[in-house]
Structure 1
């Protein structure tokens, strides 16, 4: 997966959680997830370190309803977004 990341551009690693539990705990879990993925990416591709930012949002941005175990599991995730830099004119 790390080989697919571009050598230039911005990379955002966003941690997410389900809606179970208190918001401060979910925010901490979301940040820990994102930070762990960022650390893995930097170990694999050290040249990307300055391009990566970490974002965390606990009870936010759900991928599935939180009313089933399967839905909550889908919401506990990390998303990686790549913003490509525009080519110079």
Structure 2
């Protein structure tokens, strides 16, 4: 009931910071909308943010690494 979810969108390092912040936020917002519409999670319990390429999971030097960096992570707050 009091649990909140923060969806954090990530991107690869292709392009500039501002554009990647926007696309990573759009990615997180798409997941947010899906959780609300399909699973009925209250809007007030889920937020979406984008942090671009500031927290890579893999190297941005290879296509496979860039693919891994384009993701959304869920942070559950109690």
Q: Taking structure 2 as the reference length, what is the TM-score of the superposition?
A: 0.91
Q: How many residue pairs were aligned?
A: 78
1:8-65 Cα deviation digits (max 9, x unpaired): 4110011100111111111111011001000000002334211111111112110011
Give the greater-gyration-radius structure (CA).
Answer: 1
Question: Who is 1:70 aligned against?
Answer: 64
Preserved contact between residue 7 and residue 46 of structure 2 (Cα < 8 Å):
yes
C-alpha RMSD of matched pairs (Å): 1.2
TM-score by length of 1: 0.80
Q: Which runs of 5+ in 2 are unaligned?
A: none
